[in-house]
Amino acid sequence: MTKPVKPTLRPRPTFTSEADERAYWETGAGRDSTEHLDWSKARKTALPHLKPTTKTISLRLPQHLLDALKVAANSRDVPYQSLIKVWLQEKLNSH
């Protein structure tokens, strides 16, 4: 049985600006990072203090639905927006 040939890695280029680097990785030669990195040596990492990005949205609800949400949230002693997020996540997870 023959050993697999390990490809020679190319050195990562240096860039004069973030825009140049972005252009490199988004197009052509930079699209295949395996030419520069040995992903078999990659390790998983945890980023415990990284907060997910949130986006403010406008959502129109019937008044009776909003009132019911506020009552449900009040009985759980949580803000109604937080309760909506939890319920939406639970529903998505069940699908």
Residue 82 lies in a domain: yes
The domain in which residue 20 lies consists of 7-39
Question: Does 76 score more than 70 pLDDT?
Answer: yes
Residue 2 lies in a domain: no
The domain tally of the chain equals 2
- 33-63 pLDDT, tens digit per residue, is 888 888 888 999 988 888 888 889 999 999 9
pTM for this entry: 0.48
Question: Does 11 score more than 70 pLDDT?
Answer: yes
First to last CA, the chain: 46
Residue 21 lies in a domain: yes
Residue 30 lies in a domain: yes
Residue 44 lies in a domain: no
Burial letters for 27-63: b for 16+ Cβ neighbours within 10 Å, e otherwise?
eeebeeeeeeeeeeeeeeeeeeeeeeeeeeeeeeeee
